[in-house]
Structure 1
Amino acid sequence: MHRVGKTFVKTTKRGQAVTKVRRERYLRDDVYVGCGDAAVEARERTIALIDSNVALHQMDALADARVTDVVICATVMEETRNKSRTSYERLRGLCKDKEKRFYVFSNENHAETYAEDVAGESANDRNDRAIRKAAAFYRRAIPRAACERVTLVTNDRGNARKAREENIDVMSVIEWIQSISNDASLVDLVVPGGGAEIPEDERDAKRAKSGGGASASVFEAYLDANDIKEGLASGKLIKGGVRTSRYNPFEAHVMNEGTGEGVLLSGRAAMNRAIDGDLVAVEILPESQWIRPGGMIITGTAEEDKETSSADVDAKDDAGGLAPETADETDVAVAATKASGVVPTGKVVGIIRRNWRERGYAASVDMGRDGKGPTAAGGGFASRVLCVPSDRRFPKIRIQTRQLEGLLDQRIVVVIDDWPADSMYPEGHYVKSLGLIGSVDAETQALLLENDVDDRPFAPAVYACVPALPWKVTDDHLAEPGREDLRDLLVCSVDPPGCKDIDDALSARDIDDERIEIGVHIADVTSFLFPDTAMDEEAARRGTTTYLVQRRLDMLPGALTTDICSLVGGQERLAFSAFWIVQKSTMLPDETVKPRFTKSVIKSAAALTYEQAQTRIDDASLNDDLTLSLRRLRDVARQLRKRRMANGALTLASPEVRFEMDQQSSDPLDVGMYVTRETNQMVEEMMLLANVSTAERILQAYPAAAMLRRHPIPEQKMFEPLLKAAKACGVDIDTQSNRTLAASLDAAVRPEDAYFNTLLRLQATRCMSQAVYCSSGQYAGPERMHYGLAMPLYTHFTSPIRRYADVIVHRLLSAAIGLCPRHKSLEDSDHVKSVADVCNVRHRNSQQAGRASVELHTLVFFRKRKIVADARVFKVRANGLVVFVPKFGIEGPVLFVEGENSDTATCTLDEDAMTVTHKGKTWKVFDRLTVRVEVEQLPAHRSRLLITIVPDDTPRGEIASA
C-alpha cells in the first residue's frame, strides 16, 4: 500500500478562494474486482466498462433487464453523482440488484488503475484515461474462463480512438446493445449519439463556425458560459426560472431571481429551446420592443410538420380541466402591465440548468392533421417521428423507433436528450408504453409519471419493518414510560365516507361546572416507524400519501396505514394525545393552562362520517354521551373559528369535486362539488388547535431546528388579477394585510348573486403561493407566520399516517416532552430543511396528481353524456373566455376565434373593464352564462372537454341522445 495526494484551492460559490485543501488516497493491489467469480457457464458473456457519459445519458438502456455484467468505475460513479443526482441514485439501484450483476470497482484506490494527474490535462481527459486503465486492467485480471470479452463502452470518439491505440477492446453504445439483443424494444432505448457530451453553448458555437451560421439554425445560438457569467454580473442579463402559460405554450414568463420582477418571453424564438422549469439567462430587449402579453387562448400545439419558424396552431388538441388553485403567470403579468399595456420583454440567450425530466414525459405519436399518422420505415430501420406530450406546455419531441406500428394508439413515455439549434423540436428516445390512449389505467400511469408520484410496490426490506398481523396492544405497550391508559375515555373519529387511514380522533368531557377537557388523539406512527430503517427511508422519499379518484398510493405499507396505526372504531390503538382545558364561560382554551401532551392507548367508540356526526348533533332527541361530546366539540370549534376570523384568518375557496363510482366498472356515474358541513369545520378547528400548540412546543424546545409550516405573505403584485376583476365589478378590495383582505371579502356580497362572493374568493386563492414546510432556523419570527390562517406559528402534527413532515414533528415533540432523546439528524437545521424541501415537492406533486385524476375521471364521465349547466366568466382573453362551471368544478376555454394566427379583429378585449366583445355580444368577468359540456373526439384516439355557450333558456341537465 502507498499513498498519493493532490492539493487544490477550495472556493466559495461566489468564487472567492478560502483555503488550500490536500486530499490523499491510499492505493492497494487487492481491491475487489467483482466479477471474476462468475459461473463457468457464463464464460461467453461480455463484461462492459462504461464511461461517465454512458452512465449519464443511457440510463434507460442500462436499466433494461437484458443488460447485465457491467463494471462501474468509482471515477464514473463520482462524476455521475456530481452531474445528476437522479442518474446516480438509479445507478446505485442497479448495482444493488443481484440479477443485474453491476459491479462498482474502486479504480481510484487500486495501485494498477489509479491515474496520476498530468500537467496540462483536463479533468475530463484524466477521467477518460483512468477508465481506460481500468478496462486494460480488467482484461488482465478476469480469466477467460469467466468471460469471453472485456470491452470499454463509449460514444466519445476521442476516447475510443485512444483505447484502440492502447489495444483496449472498445464498442459504441449501439454496438454493445445490439451485441446483447437486436430486439427493437431494447435498441429503441439507446440515445442516438448520447454520451458524446458537449455543453449546449459550445455545440452551438461549433455549429455556427462550421459554416451553417444563422441560415442553418432555427434558433439563435446560446452565449457561452463566460459571457453569461459576465452578463449576469453586469446586469445586462437576468437569471430566472421559465414558467409557461397554461393557456398558451408559446408564451412564458421568467421571474428575475434578483428582483422578483417578471419578464415576458413571447414566441418560439424568444423562448429559444427553453422549456417550463429551465433556469435560464435572459436578455431584456430595448423598451421599444416590449409588447403586451398575448392574452390568447391556444389549446393545442399542432405546428407545421415542416421545420420552419412558423407556428400554425390547431386548437383541437386539448382543452378544459379542473380550476387550478394557483394563479397563471400570464394573469399576473397581464394585470401588472404598464399604462401602455406593455411589459418587460426578453429572449433566452443561455441555459443555466436544464429541467428535463429523467423519468420522461407521457406522450403520444403525432398523427398529423389528417389523423393517419406516420408510416413505418420498414426493413428493420428506425422511423423518425414526432411525439406530442400530454402536458401541452412542453414541445413535441422527435424520436427514432423501430416499433412505430405498435405505438400509434399507445400512451408512451419519451425522454428528451438534446435540442440542437438547427432543429425545431428537441430530440429524444422512446422508453416504454403505458397502455391504450384514453384508458383509465394508461392515463393514470401517465399522470403519475407527469407528477413524479411513485406507485411501485414497497420493497421486501420495507415490509420486514412492519409488525405481523393480527396486531394488538399488549401489556408492554401499557407499561411504556410516558404512555397513559385512556381506553375508558370516550373518543371518536369523524372523517369522509370510506376513510381507512384514520389519523385522528376527538374527545370532550366535563371536568366540573366551569371547565371542559377537550382532546385530540393522533395515530402514534413513530412507535412503529423508526429512524434509519428501510421503511423510514422509503416514507421520507415518498413524503406523502397520494389520493386519486379510484385508488390511494400510501406513504406507508397498508398494514400500518389501515390497521395497526389507523384509529378504527372499537379497537385499541396507540396514540399521541393533546389536551386543553376549556372555560365554559368562553368555550375557549384557558390560556393560563398549557396544553398537555402524552403518548396514550385509546379505544375509539365510533368511526363516524361527517354526515353521521352532523346528524347526531342536529337530532334534538339524541342526548347520549357520544352526541353530547360532539356538541361540546362543535361549540368550542365555533369559538375557535370566530377568534381566528377576528385575527384576520382568510376564508378562501377551492373547488373540490367528488365522484359517485360504479362498483363494477369503476366508471364515474355522477360528479359534483363536495358538500361541507359544520362538522367539517369542527374537525378542522380541532386539528388547527393541535397543530398550533405543537408548533409552539417544539419551537420552544428546539428554536433552531423545529419543523414548521409557513405561508408567506403574498407580494402585492400577486393580487393584481383579483384587484382588476373586483374593480371591474365595482368592488373595493384592500390587500394590505390578511385582516383587511378578509374584511373586504366578507363585505363583497351581492344579495341577488349568492355565488359572486365565492368567485372573488376563488380569485383571491389564486393570488397566493402555497404554504410550505421549513426549518425554524431558516426564518426569523414574522417570516414563520401562516398568512392564510393568521397564525404566528404553525406545523403539521395531525396526519402522520399520510405525511412524513408530521412524522418528523412527532419525533421532535416526543423529545421535547422527555419521552426519548432527539435523533441526531434532527439537531441539524440544514437536515430539517432538506427534509422539509422534499416534503414540499412531494406534497405539491401529490396535490397535482390528485387534481389530474379528477380531470381524467371528469373526461370519462362526459364521454357518455352532454350536459347543459350554469357557468361564470372567470377570465377574459383576446380571443375568447375562460369559464368556470361550478356544478362540476370545471374551468376551461370558450374560443370565439381559434388559432394563434387567426384574425382576432372580430374580438375586442378591454383589459380595464375586464370585458371581451364578439359579434356584438359583450361578456364581463363573473358574468353568468349557460354552457354545454361534452367530449369532442379527435383523431388518433384523442379527446378533449369542449365547452360551448348556448342560449340561456336552454334546459339544464343531461341532453337525451338522439
Structure 2
Amino acid sequence: MGADTAEPAMRGGGGGARPSGVVVGIVRRAWRPYACVLDPDSAMGSQYLAEPLDTRIPKINLTTRQAEMLRGKLILVSVDLWDAGHRFPTGHYVRTLGAVGDKEAESEAILIEHEVNCAPFSPQVQACLPAKGWTIPEAEIARRLDLRDGGPSGKVLVCSVDPPGCVDIDDALHAYELAPGKYEVGVHIADVGHFIKGGTAIDAEAAARGTTVYLVNKRIDMVPKRLGEDLCSLHEKVDRLAFSCIWEVDAEANILSSRYEKTVIRSAGALSYDEAQARLDDTRLDDPLTASLRILNTLAKQLKARRMAAGALVLGSPEVRFVLDSETSDPTDVGIYKHKDANSMVEEFMLLANCSVAAATTAAFPKCAMLRRHPPPLPGAFESLKRSLGQHGFELDDASSLALGRSLDACAKPDDPYFNQLTRILATRAMQQARYFSSGAAPPSEYVHYGLACPIYTHFTSPIRRYSDQMVHRLLAAIIGWEPLSSDVLDARAMTDLTDNLNHRHTMAQYAGRASVGLHTLIFFRGKEVVEDAHVIKVRDNGVVVLVPRYGIEGVIFVCGAGERNPFAFDEAAETLRAPGCSLSTFDKVRVRIHVNTEKAHKPKLELSIVEPQLPARAG
C-alpha cells in the first residue's frame, strides 16, 4: 500500500549470486485516504468496491447504504484493515469530493493523491506577517544598497521578465555598460528571508510544504498570498527588498568580479516574455530599458555558448500550454509552449546566479550548503535509444555530457523537423532526476550537475516558490555578515531530513502538475474526435506508446487485446512490431484518432487509436 515500511529478512546468495530477501512483517502501514470512484458493477448487497484513482492501489471493500448517492462521484475512502487471505483491503467512506469530471472535484483529488497541503494558512502563520499597510522602514533602507532611481551609478534600471499574468515575481535583472567592453549585470531576487525567520510558524509551514504547486487552473502557494503576491513580489514601480548578485563582466560574459548585497529596488517594468521579445526585436526602440535588455540578451548568448561548449545539454520535454475560458476556466485550446530568446535570456542569468551562489556557500559552509545535483545517467540507460537511433543511421555517444550533446545535435532529419526534438525528449527520460542534498552528505566529486555541465549548483532564484532557495539565502546572508545561521542549518541530520522532504515535495508537485494537464486535456477533448499526427516513442510486444506533438498527449495503443491473437511479431533487437505489409518502430510517424472513452461513465479516459498506417485486423 504505497510506501509501507517493511522488515526484510536476507537470504544467502552463495557463489556470487545476487542476494535476495523476503518481507516477514510490516512495521508501519503507509495508509492514507484515497480518492476513489465506486464501481457500480461490484455491488453485493451493501458491499461495493471503490476504485482508487492511483492504479497502484488495489480496490477497497466498502460497506455503504448511500450507493445511489455516491454513483458517479469522486469520494474519499480511508483503509481500515487488510486481513490475510482477503484479496482487497477494507475501508470506510470519508466524504464526497464532487462529480466525476467536475474540474474542481478532480483537481482536489489530484492534490489529495499527491499529498499537496491546500489547507488555508493557520492564524499562527498569518500572525507572522507584518501589519497591514506595512512599508519598508527607513532604518532598513539605510542598511541596504539602494538601487532605486538608478542606484549609486545612476544607471541601474531593473526589470522583470515572466510569463503573462505572473503575480509572484521572484526575480529581476539589470545591465548597463561600465566602459567599452565592460558591463555591470545584476540579478535581484525577492528577499523572502526578511519576512520568514527560522524557528517561526511561517518557516515551519513553508519547510513542510516545500514548494508552490502549479495546476493548470490554480496555484497552491508555499507562503501566504500576501507575502508571495504583494510584500515580496517584485512589482513594477514599487519599492521592494531584494537579495542581489552583481557582477562585472567583459564582452564575452567572463566574470571579472562579483558581490552579493541586500538591496532595495524599484522595478522599472514587469514585462511578459512576449513584451520583452518585442523590445529585443524592434530596432526602432532605443530607450534605456530596451538597451538594458539588449545587453542582457547579448551576454546571455555568450553564457549559453560557453555552457554548451562545456557539455551542457539542451534537453526536451513537451511543455503543454492551455488557453482557458475567462468565465468557466475550461480549456478552449491546447498546444506546446514555444520558447523565445527572452526566455533563454532570463534562464541564463538565473543559472549564473545559482552557480555563483553554490560556489560561494559551499566554500564558506562545506558541510551544510544546500545544493542540487544531477547524477550522470546509469550504465545502459541509453541502450534502447541507441538501438532505435541505429535503425535510422544515427549513433549516440554517451561517454560524456559533451559527447552526448554533440550526438544529439547530429540526430536531425531535413524531412522530419520533429525528429531532433523527439530524440531529446527520449534522452531526457533516460536520465536520472536532479535532487537536493546537503554538501556534507556527499563527496565533492558527486556535486556535479550533469545536464548543466556544472561542477556545483543550487537553487537561489525562486524563494517565493521553493523553500530550498530560502535556506540558500540564509547561508549567503551569513557569508556577507547580515545575520548568523541558526543551529538547525548546521545540523547534518536536520539538513538531510529537510532535503529528503524537499525532494519528495518537488516530485509530488511535478506529478500533480502533469495530472492536472491530463485532466484539462480530457476536458478539452470531451465530445470531440480529432485525427492528428503522432510519433512512436516506445515499442512493446503488444503495442506502442505514441506522442502527439500538437497537443503534448502521450498514450499507449495496443495492437491486440487480452486473449486476442497478436497479428504482429515483436523484433526486440530492432524494437519493432512487424506484420505483413505493416511495421511500427520508435520514431515512426503515424496518424491517430483522439477521443474520450465514456464506456465506464464513472471513469472516462482519453483514448488513442492508429488510423494510418492501417493495422492488421484484430482477431480473437
Give the TM-score taking structure 2 as reference length. 0.94
Instruction: Give the SS at the match of 2:382.
Output: helix
Q: Name the CA shift for 1:724/1:349 in 2 (closer, same or farther; >3 Å).
A: farther
Distance in 2 (CA, whole Å) between partners of 1:529 and 1:721 is 47
Residue 5 of structure 1 corresponds to none
In the alignment, is residue 782 of structure 1 matched against residue 445 of structure 2? yes
In the alignment, is residue 366 of structure 1 matched against residue 32 of structure 2? no
The equivalences for 1:638-787 within 5 A come to 638-787=301-450
CA contact (8 A) 2:374 2:450 kept: yes
**Which of these residues, 135, 139, 157, is aligned with residue 476 of structure 1?**
139
Unpaired segments of 5 or more residues in structure 1? 1-84, 87-198, 201-224, 239-255, 260-281, 284-347, 378-382, 954-962
CA contact (8 A) 2:324 2:331 kept: yes
Instruction: Give the SS at the match of 2:74.
Output: strand
Distance in 2 (CA, whole Å) between partners of 1:357 and 1:886 is 38
CA contact (8 A) 1:508 1:517 kept: yes
Residue 111 of structure 1 corresponds to none
Distance in 2 (CA, whole Å) between partners of 1:882 and 1:919 is 21
Instruction: Give the SS at the match of 1:499.
Output: coil
* Counterpart residue identity of residue 524, structure 1: D
Distance in 2 (CA, whole Å) between partners of 1:952 and 1:683 is 43
Residue 587 of structure 1 corresponds to 253
**Which of these residues, 507, 513, 519, is aligned with residue 174 of structure 2?**
507
Instruction: Give the SS at the match of 1:663.
Output: coil
CA contact (8 A) 2:596 2:607 kept: yes
* Counterpart residue identity of residue 570, structure 1: K
* Counterpart residue identity of residue 917, structure 1: R
In the alignment, is residue 625 of structure 1 matched against residue 299 of structure 2? no
Instruction: Give the SS at the match of 1:938.
Output: coil
For residues 899-936 of structure 1, what are the alpha-carbon distances to aligned partners after superposition, in whole Å with 9 as ceiling and x for unaligned? Answer: 2xx23432211111111134642111110111121111
Residue 612 of structure 1 corresponds to 275
Distance in 1 (CA, whole Å) between partners of 2:185 and 2:502 is 30
In the alignment, is residue 845 of structure 1 matched against residue 540 of structure 2? no
Deviation of 1:768 after TM superposition, in Å, equals 1.2
Instruction: Give the SS at the match of 1:367.
Output: strand
Residue 158 of structure 1 corresponds to none
Structure with larger RCO (C-alpha < 8 A, sep 6+) = 2
In the alignment, is residue 357 of structure 1 matched against residue 31 of structure 2? yes
The equivalences for 1:37-186 within 5 A come to none
Deviation of 1:754 after TM superposition, in Å, equals 1.2
* Counterpart residue identity of residue 582, structure 2: K
Distance in 2 (CA, whole Å) between partners of 1:927 and 1:907 is 16
Q: Name the CA shift for 1:528/1:777 in 2 (closer, same or farther; >3 Å).
A: same
**Which of these residues, 916, 932, 939, is aligned with residue 593 of structure 2?**
932
The alignment-based identity, stated in percent, is 46
Distance in 1 (CA, whole Å) between partners of 2:81 and 2:383 is 38
Distance in 1 (CA, whole Å) between partners of 2:356 and 2:407 is 29
Deviation of 1:352 after TM superposition, in Å, equals 5.4
In the alignment, is residue 950 of structure 1 matched against residue 611 of structure 2? yes
Deviation of 1:625 after TM superposition, in Å, equals 0.6
Residue 153 of structure 1 corresponds to none
* Counterpart residue identity of residue 366, structure 1: D
Residue 59 of structure 1 corresponds to none
Q: Name the CA shift for 1:486/1:780 in 2 (closer, same or farther; >3 Å).
A: farther
Deviation of 1:728 after TM superposition, in Å, equals 2.9
The equivalences for 1:400-479 within 5 A come to 400-479=63-142
Distance in 2 (CA, whole Å) between partners of 1:399 and 1:920 is 50
Instruction: Give the SS at the match of 1:845.
Output: helix
Deviation of 1:441 after TM superposition, in Å, equals 1.1
Distance in 2 (CA, whole Å) between partners of 1:351 and 1:918 is 48
For residues 142-177 of structure 1, what are the alpha-carbon distances to aligned partners after superposition, in whole Å with 9 as ceiling and x for unaligned? Answer: xxxxxxxxxxxxxxxxxxxxxxxxxxxxxxxxxxxx
Residue 330 of structure 1 corresponds to none
Distance in 1 (CA, whole Å) between partners of 2:29 and 2:580 is 43
Deviation of 1:813 after TM superposition, in Å, equals 0.4
- Give 1 or 2: higher strand fraction: 2
Deviation of 1:785 after TM superposition, in Å, equals 0.7
**Which of these residues, 240, 245, 249, is aligned with residue 573 of structure 1?**
240
Distance in 1 (CA, whole Å) between partners of 2:261 and 2:525 is 50
Deviation of 1:795 after TM superposition, in Å, equals 0.3
Q: Name the CA shift for 1:460/1:520 in 2 (closer, same or farther; >3 Å).
A: same
Instruction: Give the SS at the match of 2:262.
Output: strand
Distance in 1 (CA, whole Å) between partners of 2:387 and 2:40 is 42
Residue 545 of structure 1 corresponds to 212
Distance in 2 (CA, whole Å) between partners of 1:397 and 1:795 is 43
Between the two proteins, the alignment pairs up a number of residues equal to 607
Deviates more, 1:693-702 or 1:822-831: 822-831
**Which of these residues, 186, 199, 208, is aligned with residue 519 of structure 1?**
186
CA contact (8 A) 1:541 1:838 kept: yes
For residues 217-253 of structure 1, what are the alpha-carbon distances to aligned partners after superposition, in whole Å with 9 as ceiling and x for unaligned? Answer: xxxxxxxx6xx53x34x248x9xxxxxxxxxxxxxxx
Residue 489 of structure 2 corresponds to 826
Distance in 2 (CA, whole Å) between partners of 1:353 and 1:736 is 43
Q: Name the CA shift for 1:935/1:749 in 2 (closer, same or farther; >3 Å).
A: same
Q: Name the CA shift for 1:636/1:405 in 2 (closer, same or farther; >3 Å).
A: same
Distance in 2 (CA, whole Å) between partners of 1:565 and 1:905 is 60
Residue 490 of structure 1 corresponds to 157
Distance in 2 (CA, whole Å) between partners of 1:541 and 1:453 is 10
**Which of these residues, 552, 575, 582, is aligned with residue 921 of structure 1?**
582
Distance in 1 (CA, whole Å) between partners of 2:572 and 2:35 is 36
Deviation of 1:354 after TM superposition, in Å, equals 6.1
Deviation of 1:869 after TM superposition, in Å, equals 1.1
CA contact (8 A) 1:907 1:917 kept: yes
Distance in 2 (CA, whole Å) between partners of 1:919 and 1:357 is 50
Residue 866 of structure 1 corresponds to 529
Distance in 2 (CA, whole Å) between partners of 1:938 and 1:818 is 65
Distance in 2 (CA, whole Å) between partners of 1:470 and 1:885 is 50
Q: Name the CA shift for 1:418/1:719 in 2 (closer, same or farther; >3 Å).
A: farther
CA contact (8 A) 1:708 1:793 kept: yes
CA contact (8 A) 1:871 1:884 kept: yes
Deviation of 1:474 after TM superposition, in Å, equals 2.9
Distance in 1 (CA, whole Å) between partners of 2:248 and 2:26 is 56
CA contact (8 A) 1:938 1:944 kept: no
Instruction: Give the SS at the match of 2:380.
Output: helix
* Counterpart residue identity of residue 34, structure 2: Y
* Counterpart residue identity of residue 805, structure 1: S
* Counterpart residue identity of residue 801, structure 1: I
For residues 645-693 of structure 1, what are the alpha-carbon distances to aligned partners after superposition, in whole Å with 9 as ceiling and x for unaligned? Answer: 1111111001110110111111100000011101111100000000010
Distance in 2 (CA, whole Å) between partners of 1:353 and 1:767 is 34
Between structure 1 and structure 2, the one with the greater Rg is 1
Distance in 1 (CA, whole Å) between partners of 2:236 and 2:375 is 38
Instruction: Give the SS at the match of 2:604.
Output: strand
The equivalences for 1:216-295 within 5 A come to 229=9, 231-232=10-11, 234-235=12-13
Residue 602 of structure 2 corresponds to 941
The equivalences for 1:371-390 within 5 A come to 374=43, 377=45, 383-390=46-53
Deviation of 1:941 after TM superposition, in Å, equals 3.1
Distance in 1 (CA, whole Å) between partners of 2:473 and 2:187 is 14
Deviation of 1:949 after TM superposition, in Å, equals 1.6
Q: Name the CA shift for 1:946/1:616 in 2 (closer, same or farther; >3 Å).
A: same
CA contact (8 A) 1:776 1:829 kept: no
CA contact (8 A) 2:559 2:566 kept: no
Q: Name the CA shift for 1:718/1:351 in 2 (closer, same or farther; >3 Å).
A: farther
Deviation of 1:355 after TM superposition, in Å, equals 6.0
Distance in 2 (CA, whole Å) between partners of 1:928 and 1:632 is 42
CA contact (8 A) 2:38 2:602 kept: no
Q: Name the CA shift for 1:534/1:487 in 2 (closer, same or farther; >3 Å).
A: farther
Q: Name the CA shift for 1:813/1:414 in 2 (closer, same or farther; >3 Å).
A: same
Deviates more, 1:622-631 or 1:872-881: 872-881
Distance in 2 (CA, whole Å) between partners of 1:549 and 1:741 is 33
CA contact (8 A) 1:879 1:904 kept: no
* Counterpart residue identity of residue 356, structure 1: A
